[in-house]
Amino acid sequence: MERLGSGIEAGRLSSNEYASNFSDLHPRLDKHEALVASDRCYFCYDAPCMTACPTAIDIPMFIRQISTGNPLGSAKTIFDQNILGGMCARVCPTETLCEEVCVRNTAEDRPVEIGKLQRYATDIAMETGRQFFERRAPSGKRIAVVGAGPAGLAAAHRLAVNGHDVTILEAREKSGGLNEYGIATYKAVDDFAQREVDYVTAIGGITIEHGKALGRDFSLSDLTSDYDSVFLGMGLSGVNGLGVDGETLYGVDDAVDFIAALRQSHNKATVPIGRRVVVIGGGMTAIDAAIQAKLLGAEEVTICYRRGKENMNASTWEQDLAASKGVIIRHWLAPKSIIGKDGKVAGIEVEYTAMKDGRLTTTGETGIIAADQIFKAIGQSFQASGLGALQFDKGRIAVDAEGRTSLETVWAGGDCIGRGEDLTVSAVAQGRDAAESINRMLAAGAQPASAVA
């Protein structure tokens, strides 16, 4: 066992415990289970589930195709709208989207397992290497895509299908964006993110260049000079700080970095974790970090969130999952200072909060939670240089309904834009729709006027 000091250690568990803890959260349905699950669908003519899906997948259709023994046809229905349907089936908060509005979701019944059925069909298509798209005749047009995350991949695929040549410029050493680096390991096992990238790019016409960062290796003006159009999908790279004393102590880490390191580790026994861990935040990153800290062998993991349970960005289902793993979630607590000893984290001082006159305030009452490791999960920020005169909205790129920016020939989508729910499925929809808008512009042979005033 490697000792790193202050209670942070690697190798807390046995190899069997690591394998069990980080196994697939929702194993794929077998054929019989899929047929039974699909038979529960009413195939509603007005399909509220389809309306709730950001990519507008024809959910009744793909479920009916499964029920009739046609999983490949089902996969085509899914991929027609969402080429990253395999990952979305794993990470999408279906409990607050399609399944929440399912007509069977009542006090006496439960919703159709849409996410599991989507995974069943898409997995079969990917494992058999079945492709449903063919490239159109070469257009002679070249498009640059910045970022190989969900938005960039979705845009690149739709552009390639339309016959354009696409170059994706990705700052990191692997493609996939948050699918590769930012989600809990147990949600996408067996290197699924990379396998999905391979499936998406198998259409042809897509080249990915890794280690190419906007603002460091090239600027937006370079791309607009060299390419017929540009799609920006670089996501968020900055991490918000707590702004309290002690934030630089050993043992204070960014939750996104912790999740990324765990995702890239082939041996979970090499990933250090504290004995007593505190996570600050209330979103999915906080939940994923807290659960995985517990799965790595932390004895006590506490999430501190400054507002109430109903205000957490993480869904109730995810909060319940964390509780089932032994994570303690404490509400109405804000970090006041981080307490250190010998340069290392020893605890965190928190202050109780309350709503007064519609505003969140501190009450003056404080307490201390013992900890040897603290993860910051209070959101990410957009930090990108090399964008020139591009206009912004609330710190992110301003776009119109089609994803067009204030600059001609430049579109954007995903977490870097000033709208959306910061969901994988929303990023896919924005990348897909921007690609269609780009294709219409190129097909017309004209440049559109600036879309953002």
CATH number at residue 55: 1.10.1060.10
Q: Is the pLDDT of residue 4 over 90?
A: no
pLDDT, mean of residues 31-36: 98
What is the pLDDT confidence band of residue 420, given thresholds at 50, 70 and 90?
A: low
Please give the Cα distance from 148 to 178 (Å, whole number): 10
Where a domain ends, among 355, 379, 403?
379
Residues 310 and 424 in one domain: no
What six digits make up the tokens of 278? 């505190």
**Alpha-helix runs per DSSP H in 254-407:** 255-264, 284-295, 316-324
Give the pLDDT of residue 449: 47
What's the pTM? 0.93
Last residue of a domain, one of 74, 97, 127: 127
The answer to whether residue 31 sits within a structural domain is no
Q: Are residues 192 and 272 in the same domain?
A: no
Q: Is 387 helix (H, G, I), strand (E, B) or coil?
A: coil
Domain count across the chain = 3
Do 423 and 331 share a domain, yes or no? no
* Distance of alpha carbon 157 from alpha carbon 153, whole angstroms: 6
- Among 204, 205, 206, 137, residue whose Cα is nearest residue 175: 206
- Asked, for residue 136, whether it belongs to a domain, the answer is no
For 19, the enclosing helix (H) or strand (E) is helix 15-21
Is residue 360 within 8 A of residue 332, CB to CB? The reply is no
- Helix ranges (DSSP H) in 68-161: 71-81, 85-91, 114-127, 150-161
Nearest to 183 by CA among 15, 432, 425: 425
Could you tell me if 353 and 389 lie in one domain?
no
Separation in Å, CA 30 to CA 26, 27, 34, 35, 64: 12, 9, 6, 9, 16
Mean pLDDT of 22-32: 95
| Range 44-73 average pLDDT | 96
Q: Which amino acid, residue 138? A: P
Same domain, 432 and 309: no
Residues 214 and 276 in one domain: no
Q: What is the span of the domain harbouring residue 67?
A: 39-127
Res. 237 pLDDT band, cuts 50 70 90:
confident
Q: Are residues 250 and 374 in the same domain?
A: yes
Mean pLDDT of 330-355: 96
Tell me the backbone φ, ψ of residue 279, rounded to 5 degrees.
Answer: -115, 130
Strands 300-304 and 392-393: unpaired
